[in-house]
Structure 1
Amino acid sequence: MRNRTIVNSPQQLNLDWAQAILSNHEELTEVEINEVNVTSVDIGTTTRVRIAVEHNVPDVPKQWFVKLPSLSFRAKAITALPRLLPTEVRFYNELADQVPLNKPKLLFAHNRFGRGSTLVINDVSEFGAIPGRVGDALTVEQARLVIRQLAQFHAHFTNKARNGRDFRWLAGPVRRLEDGLGAALAVPLMRRGLRLAGEYVAAGLHGPALRYARHRKKVMRFLSSAEPTLVHHDCHPGNLFWHNNQPGFLDWQMVRVGEGIGDVSYFLATALTPESRRQHELALLADYHEIMAENHSVKTDFNSLLNRYRAHLVYSFEAMIVTLAVGGMMPLDSNLEMIRRAAQAIEDHDAFALLQNVG
C-alpha cells in the first residue's frame, strides 16, 4: 500500500491516493473518500500542496497539507543531497511526539529510496490557526511567546541530545554531507547573493561576509561546540502558525542536534524589525536564559550566552543570502526584507568581527 502513497507531483493526489493514505491507519479504514481537490500549489525547497478531501467522518481532517520533492530544478539540486524532506519525514515518524511544541497532526510520512518522500499533515487553518507568512514582522509579545517555547523545547532535549543514541542520525553522514556541500558552495553562493541583494546589504559587510564564507567550515565547527540539544534550525516567521494566540512550529526539514541559542539568533534576526529587535532583544534573551537555567539546561552566565547569540547571527544572514542566490525558494520581497533585517543584526553586533579569529 505504501507504494501507492509515494508520489512526486500534485497531479497524483487523487481519490485513490487519498484513500490509500487513510488505509495506513487501522482506525480510519472505514472512511470513505468522495472527492479530492487541489486548492493550492507552492514550489520552494519542497512542493507544498493544499488539498480538500471530502469524506463521511466528521472527526477526520478534511484539509490536508502535502509536501513532495521540489518541482524547482535548482531547489531540488540544493535539497536532494542533504535529504531535507526525508529528514522531516523521519522527524514526524520518530521524534515529533516527543517535542513539547504545537505541531500539525501527522497523517502519513514515508520515504522510499529511489522513489521519493511524501509527508501528509493536517492543514492548520482547518482548526482556526493562522499560518505565518515569510517576511512577517512579529510583535514583541509574539516574539516573547516563541522564545519561551523554544526555551522549553531546548531544555527538554538538552540531556537527551547529549546522551541519547536516538538522535545520532541527526548528526550522522547526511549532516556531514550537508556541511561539506555548504562549505564547497559558500563562496560562490555568498558572492552571487550579495550581488543580488544590492542595497539591502551595506557595502562594508561584503568583505567580512566573503571571508566568513571562505572559512565557513571552521566557523560551523565553532558554532557547534557548545552544549547540544535538538534545534529547529529554520525558525523564521513563515515556519510558524498561530492558534489561540499561541505559536506552533512548521517545516522540520532542517532539524538537527545543535546549540539552542542558534534558533534564537535565527528567529530574532528574521522575525523582528531592526528597531524592535534593538529595543527588546536583551529582555527576550534574558527570558530565554532564565527558563533554560530553571530547567538546569544552561551552564553559562548571561554575558556568555549573549556572545554565543551574537556569533550565531552569521548563520541567519548566510541562510537568507543563499536562499536569494539559489532563487525560487522564497518570495523575493520577503527574502530581501529578511536579508535586510539579518544584515542589520550583523552590523549591530559586529558578528563577523567576533568570529574573525575562528577562521
Structure 2
Amino acid sequence: MSSKVTLDLPLAPEGLTTEWLESALSIRYPSVKLASSEVCNVVAGTASKINVALKYDNGNPHGLPESMYIKGGFHGAEQLELAGAGYHQEVGFYQNFENQLDGLEIPKSFFAGANDANGQAIVILEDLTQRQATFGNATAPMSVDMMAKTMEWLAHLHATFWSKPPVDANIPWPGVVGSLIDVMLADDYWGPMTSRPLAKPLPEVARDPKVVRKALMSMWETFGSQSKTFIHGDAHLGNMYFVDNAPGFLDWQSPMLGPWSDDVTYALIGGLTVADRRSNERDLLRHYLDALQRLGVESAPMFDEAWLAYRQQVMHGYMWVATPPSMQPDDIVGANVERFSAALEDLETLSALGV
C-alpha cells in the first residue's frame, strides 16, 4: 500500500546525517534548511526509534519542531527481516490514511518513505513528549472515563471507513496471530509459554492447544465473511498515549481491513481492571455503538449483535500468553493474561464460538 521514494534510506543510525534529514524533510517542506542535527537517543526494539534534535538555518518558515523521532530498521538485517513488513505498513498508513483522520489524536508525521532496494521503510514522527504526552502501560489500567473516550476514538476511526473500506488496506485480518498459529500452538512452544507463573490465571479448559486452535478458527471463520472497516489491528494499552486528557494510538504497523469488534474488544478488556470491565463493559459497548450512530453509520450493529461479537473476539487478547519475553516484559504479559483469562470465563467465549 505504500509508494516508494527515490531518496536513499539509510540502514544505520550513522546514515541519519543533517544532509539526509534535510533531504527527507524537503519532500514535504521544500524550503527547509537545517543548520545541524544531533542524535540524542537510540532505542532498538521491534523497530528502532531514534530521537534527533534539529536546528534550522532559515528561520524555520514551516514551524517544524526541534525534536523528532525517526522510526525504521537501523539495527541489522535480522531486525529488518523479522519486522520490516511492519515498517512498510506504517509508512503506508502515513502516506495514505493520516490525512483522512483529521480530528483523531495520532502522532504527526513529517516524512514517510519505503525503498525496495534495501528493504528499509522510515517514518519521521513528532516527539510526543514535547506535548507532555504520557504513554500507556498495561500495568497502569485506564479509568472508565478514559475508556469511554477511547471507545469514541475507535468509533471515529471505524466510522471514517465504515461504508467505504479501503481496498488496499494492508495485511489481511487477523494479522500476525493468524500467520503464527502453528508456531504458537506447537507443543514445544505453547507448553513453556503456558507453564510460566504469569500463565496461572488461564482457565484449565483453555490450556489445551487443540481447544485454543478450534476457538481461534471459529472466531476467524465467524468474522471472515462479515463486513469490515479500517482497524488499528493492535489496539492494546501499550500502543496508546494520552495528551490533554484525550487518548491517541501509536504504532501503525498492523492496520487492517477487519471487524470493528477486534479493536473494541482488545482495547476494552486489556485497558481496564477486571473489576472495572465487569461493571462497565455493557455501557462502554453501548457508548461505542452510540458514537458510531452520531458519526453517521446507519448500519451500526444493534446491541445484542455487538455483544455477541464482543464475546467472540476475546480470543485475540487471550493469545497474549504466547508472547515471548523478548517481545514484552513479564509484568505486561501477565497483566493482559489476567484480564483476558477472566473475560474468557465471564463472557463464556468458548460457548459463544461453539467450542
Give the TM interval when normalised to the shorter protein.
Answer: 0.7 to 0.9
Match for residue 291 of structure 1? 291
Shift of the 343–14 alpha-carbon distance from structure 1 to 2, 3 Å rule, reads farther
Unaligned residue ranges in structure 2 (runs of 5+): none
Shift of the 300–203 alpha-carbon distance from structure 1 to 2, 3 Å rule, reads closer
- 1:282 paired with 2:271, answer no
Shift of the 3–336 alpha-carbon distance from structure 1 to 2, 3 Å rule, reads farther
- Secondary structure of the equivalent of 1:50? strand
Q: Does the 8 Å CA contact 2:240/2:247 hold for their aligned counterparts?
A: yes
Q: Which moved more, 1:257-266 or 1:66-75?
A: 66-75
1:205-230 deviation digits (Å, cap 9, x = unpaired)? 44355422256445323233322111
The two structures have a TM-score, normalised by structure 1, of 0.85
Q: Does the 8 Å CA contact 1:155/1:297 hold for their aligned counterparts?
A: no
Q: Does the 8 Å CA contact 1:190/1:210 hold for their aligned counterparts?
A: no
CA distance in 2: counterparts of 1:329 and 1:209, whole angstroms: 21
Shift of 1:284: 0.5
Higher helix share: 1
CA distance in 2: counterparts of 1:125 and 1:9, whole angstroms: 24
- 1:305 paired with 2:309, answer no
Q: Does the 8 Å CA contact 2:198/2:330 hold for their aligned counterparts?
A: no
- 1:193 paired with 2:193, answer yes
Shift of 1:273: 1.0
- Secondary structure of the equivalent of 1:285? helix
CA distance in 1: counterparts of 2:194 and 2:28, whole angstroms: 48
CA distance in 2: counterparts of 1:228 and 1:195, whole angstroms: 36
In the alignment of these two chains, the number of paired residues is 344
Shift of the 240–205 alpha-carbon distance from structure 1 to 2, 3 Å rule, reads same
Unaligned residue ranges in structure 1 (runs of 5+): none
Percent identity of equivalent pairs: 20
1:267-318 deviation digits (Å, cap 9, x = unpaired)? 0121111111111111111101222234234443212211100111110121
- 1:132 paired with 2:136, answer yes
Match for residue 105 of structure 1? 108
Match for residue 39 of structure 1? 41
Aligned 1:215-226 pairs, distance under 5 A: 216-226=216-226
Q: Does the 8 Å CA contact 2:203/2:341 hold for their aligned counterparts?
A: no
- Secondary structure of the equivalent of 1:27? coil
Shift of the 15–306 alpha-carbon distance from structure 1 to 2, 3 Å rule, reads same
CA distance in 2: counterparts of 1:273 and 1:76, whole angstroms: 36
Shift of 1:333: 1.7
- Secondary structure of the equivalent of 2:251? coil
Question: Which amino acid in 1 is paired with 2:93?
Answer: F
- Secondary structure of the equivalent of 1:296? coil
CA distance in 2: counterparts of 1:8 and 1:217, whole angstroms: 38
The two structures have a TM-score, normalised by structure 2, of 0.86
Match for residue 159 of structure 1? 163
1:116-141 deviation digits (Å, cap 9, x = unpaired)? 11111111111333333354310111
Match of residue 146, structure 1, among 142, 146, 150: 150
